Amino acid sequence: MGRVFAIVLTLITLVSVAFFVMHTWWLPPDISTTGPAVDHQFEETLIGTGVLFLAGQLLLGWFAWNASDKTKKVRPFPGGATPLVTAAIVLVGIEVFTLTFVGSKAWGAIYLAPADPLALKIDVQAEQFAFYFRYAGPDGKFGSVHPEKIDDGSGNYFGLDPANDEAARDDIVAASLVVPINTPVALTLHSKDVGHSFYVRELRVQQDFVPGLDIPLHFTATQIGKYEIVCTQLCGLGHYNMKAYLEVMSAEDFQQWLKTQAGQ
């Protein structure tokens, strides 16, 4: 029975690892300046944990195989517990601290480093079950928001007051996040109702919207294309269908898009 266990466990282990190694299912290609560090960290972790996973499962299988030999006497583990405990502390300790020190850089570049002061500023509003994006318009100033003025029926998703607020009059509100390539973009995330999240797989970023807070998030996209923005924080019955698109354009196309939007 121990031998059957060893064989079954070895097969499970090898098949599981094979799909990781073959990248049968994998992350979509990164399109951001901060993503490569995340991907690098991922590969490092994959190698370290892959070795631990293989070693752990295969040793267990091997020991179970050996323990099924009834002709042998009971044998103690060579060296006893102390070397094992020491090895666990030292090896896993090294792994832990390497991952922390290398990984904290990748995290810091996304979440701790301030956005470029010249970054394109875009205001993002999440609500059940849509995202809206607001650009400052030609005057470069965002109009102030008044939650009580929010009215989805008339398209006033942000609660602007163009009648009394000059800065609000030229604000551009869009249903897609349109950005120029290779340009730093600084988002401010806020929610109209409950918690939501901003997740673009290709940017390797995810950030919750927290009602009552303005949360900054910045990125620079390096590939022209259209990518999904999906909600990852359970927000109600339409959660599965809450999405928008990130459209990365050339600088010229972006300017053209802005003009078209401003003219509407």
Partner 1 sequence: MHDVSASPASHQHTAPSGFLRKYVFSLDHKVIGKQYYGLALVSVFVGMILSWLLRLHLAYPNWHIPLLGKFSATGAPDGVMTPEYYLSLLTMHGTLMVFFVLTNAPFAAFGNYFLPIQIGAEDMAFPRFNMMSFWTTFLAFVVMMASFFVADGPPISGWTAYAPLSAVGGDAGPGLALGQNLWAISIVLFCVASLLGALNFIATTLDLRTKGMSLARMPYSTWAWFVTSVIALLAFAVLLPACILLILDRVAGTSFFIPAGLILSDKLQPHSGGSPLLWQHLFWFFGHPEVYIAILPSIGIIATILPVFTRKPLLGPRALVGSMIAIGFLSYMVWGHHMFVSGMNPFSANLFSVPTLIITIPATIMTLLLTASVYGGRMRFDTPALFCLGFISVFISGGISGFYLAQPSLDTYLHATYFVVAHFHFVMALASLFGVFAGTYFWFPKMFGRMMNETLGKWHFWLTFLGVYCVFMPMHYLGLVGNVRRYSAFVDDYLAPLIPVHKFITIAALLTGAAQLIFFFNLFWSRFRGSIASVNPWEATSLEWSTTSPPPFDNFGGHHLVVENGPNEFGAEAPDGTDFVMQAAPRKGA
Structure-token match 């031998």, residue found = 3
Closest approach of partner 1 to the CB of residue 89, in Å: 6
Closest separation in Å from C-beta 253 to partner 1:
23
Task: State which of positions 144-163 bind partner 1 (CB under 8 A).
Answer: 147-148, 150, 152
Window contacting partner 1 (CB under 8 A); options: 94-102, 168-176, 180-188, 250-258: 94-102
> Among 72-80, 136-144, 176-184, 254-262, which window interacts with partner 1 (CB under 8 A)?
72-80
138: contact with partner 1 by CB under 8 A? no
Contacts of 195 (CB under 8 A, 6+ apart): 208, 209, 210, 211, 233, 234, 235
Strand-by-strand arrangement of the 205-209 sheet:
177-180, 243-249, 225-230, 196-200, 205-209
Site for partner 1 in 161-200 (CB under 8 A): 192-195, 197, 199
With respect to partner 1, which residue has the nearer C-beta, 107 or 261? 107
- 114 touches partner 1 (CB under 8 A): no
Looking at the Cβ atoms of 66 and 250, the one nearer to partner 1 is 66
Nearer to partner 1, 49 or 183 (CB): 49
Among the listed ranges 101-109, 136-144, 179-187, 252-260, the one in contact with partner 1 (CB under 8 A) is: 101-109
Q: What are phi and psi of 44, to 5 degrees?
A: -60, -45
- Taking CB under 8 A as the criterion, the residue among 7, 14, 18, 19 binding partner 1 is 19
Query: CA nearest 172: which of 158, 187, 188, 184?
Result: 158
Stretch that binds partner 1, among 18-26, 116-124, 168-176, 179-187 (CB under 8 A): 18-26
Q: Is 201 in the site for partner 1 (CB under 8 A)?
A: yes
Footprint (CB under 8 A) of partner 1, residues 30-59: 37-38, 41-42, 45, 48-49, 52-53, 56-57, 59
Q: Residue from 14, 238, 255, 256 that binds partner 1 (CB under 8 A)?
A: 238
